[in-house]
């Protein structure tokens, strides 16, 4: 039996309203939350047109499917994933085609879904758990009849074949999801072994990876209760009411473990310092406290990682304009005083 996707009616309205030029295709992203039992889709967003200099590129194949810009679709997915609040992620893709391309649509979707997952998860600082769902959803929509075909692929298996899945529309899928919020002070000093962009990128990722492991191992208190077991997050509360929980993270000091001094030759250091304000949403299908803790921890890690990635990307772009000199802007401007552009209301 395939997976079931419960889709907000706002997504249905969005997909039905997509207009396509005759003989052309439209791609887009599907975002929401996965759980071992079921999946929830709360957002659909069309891939924007790519701004190109000069004349538009000539067609690369006999079919509009051959002209889909895989690089642009995956880059769009990465940027959208940076903006999603905790608990939400890119679940898959949709593709709108004319009727004559319906038979070839699944091959195009498979190519896109594997490329997208590889690009998004590259450099991810947290590890998947045994309960994490590795199936990604693809939705094909006929531009004429609006008929939909929903299938999934296991993106961790390159030889995975398409599996049928249920696509069900509902009202207010996320309107009563519990929300968690957390503010984390970040103060990480990372040694630099060189000044080139490649070395800087490697040193930053290594330093953040060590910090991310500390966040994953931290003790999580949700409304003062240790979130470690399978107890329900909203036990004793009405399931249809909105619930806001505050989260406190306590880093473990491993005093019982023997440590040794590490001498490392470096040319300088970068300090990532600031306050990160995070929030996470959890589905209301009997959410567990440990799942909520995992969602907020991952959002903390993703938020800091995204900010540093943006800094490094900017550094790489501007490096050529500073001959022989790499300007390291203070990372504080990326962390302090900036509200992360995440959705404030999912309902």
For 301, other C-beta atoms within 10 Å of its C-beta total 24
11 found inside a domain: yes
pLDDT of residue 340: 38
257 found inside a domain: yes
CATH at residue 141: 3.40.140.10
pLDDT of residue 345: 42
For residue 326, is pLDDT > 80? Answer: no
For residue 121, is pLDDT > 80? Answer: yes
Indicate if 140 and 50 belong to the same structural domain.
yes
Q: What CA–CA distances, in Å, run from 247 to 86, 271, 293, 295, 317?
A: 13, 25, 8, 11, 37
Indicate if 162 and 183 belong to the same structural domain.
no
Name the percent of the chain lying above pLDDT 90: 50
Domain boundary among 146, 170, 194: 170
For residue 146, is pLDDT > 90? Answer: yes
Task: For residue 1, give the 3-state DSSP assignment.
Answer: coil
Indicate if 100 and 195 belong to the same structural domain.
no
212 found inside a domain: yes
CA distance 272 to 190: 8
Indicate if 124 and 266 belong to the same structural domain.
no
Which pLDDT tens digit goes with each residue over 209-248? 999 999 999 998 888 888 776 777 766 544 545 577 788 8
Indicate if 200 and 271 belong to the same structural domain.
yes
29 found inside a domain: yes
Query: Which range (92-96, 110-114, 131-135, 323-327) has the least confidence?
Result: 323-327
Indicate if 21 and 140 belong to the same structural domain.
yes
Which pLDDT tens digit goes with each residue over 327-344? 444 333 334 333 334 444
Domain boundary among 170, 193, 210: 170
Indicate if 132 and 10 belong to the same structural domain.
yes
346 found inside a domain: no
Higher local confidence (pLDDT), 163 or 249: 163
- Number of domains within the chain: 2
| Confidence category of residue 257, pLDDT binned at 50, 70, 90 | low
Answer yes or no: are the C-beta atoms of 168 and 5 closer than 8 Å.
yes
CA distance 24 to 49: 13
Indicate if 221 and 300 belong to the same structural domain.
yes
Rg (CA), the chain: 22
Structural domain boundaries, residue 96: 4-170
Indicate if 151 and 186 belong to the same structural domain.
no
Average pLDDT over residues 201-210: 90
The encoded tokens of residue 3 equal 């997976």
Domain boundary among 152, 170, 188: 170
């Amino acid at each position: 039996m395939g997976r079931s996707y419960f889709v907000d009616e706002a997504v249905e309205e969005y997909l039905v309203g997509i207009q396509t030029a005759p003989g052309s295709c439209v791609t887009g992203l599907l975002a929401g939350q996965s759980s071992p039992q079921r999946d929830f889709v709360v957002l659909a967003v069309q891939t924007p047109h790519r701004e190109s200099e000069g004349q538009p590129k000539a067609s690369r194949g006999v079919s509009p499917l051959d002209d889909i810009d895989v690089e642009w679709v995956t880059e769009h997915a990465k940027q959208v994933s940076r903006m999603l609040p905790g608990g939400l992620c890119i679940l898959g893709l949709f593709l709108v085609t004319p009727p004559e391309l319906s038979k070839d649509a699944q091959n195009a979707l498979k190519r896109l879904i594997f490329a997208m997952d590889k690009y998004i998860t590259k450099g991810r600082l947290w590890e998947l758990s045994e309960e994490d769902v590795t199936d990604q959803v693809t939705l094909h929509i006929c531009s004429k009849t609006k008929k939909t075909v929903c299938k999934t692929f296991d993106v961790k298996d390159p030889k995975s074949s398409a599996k049928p899945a249920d696509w069900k529309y509902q009202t207010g899928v996320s309107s009563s999801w519990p929300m968690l919020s957390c503010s984390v002070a970040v103060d990480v000093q990372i040694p630099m072994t060189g000044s080139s962009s490649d070395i800087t990128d490697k040193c930053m990722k290594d330093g953040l990876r060590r910090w991310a492991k500390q966040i994953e191992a931290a003790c999580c208190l949700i409304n003062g209760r240790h979130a470690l077991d399978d107890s329900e997050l909203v036990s004793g509360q009405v399931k249809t009411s909105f619930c806001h929980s505050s989260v406190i993270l306590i880093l473990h000091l491993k005093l019982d473990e023997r440590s040794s001094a590490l001498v490392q030759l470096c040319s300088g250091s970068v300090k990532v310092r600031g306050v990160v304000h995070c929030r996470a949403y959890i589905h209301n299908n009997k959410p567990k406290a440990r799942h909520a803790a995992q969602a907020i921890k991952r959002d903390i890690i993703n938020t800091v990682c995204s900010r540093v990635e943006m800094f490094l990307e900017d550094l790489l772009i501007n490096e050529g304009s500073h001959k022989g000199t790499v300007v390291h802007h203070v990372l504080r401007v990326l962390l302090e005083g900036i509200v992360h552009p995440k959705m404030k209301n999912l309902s």
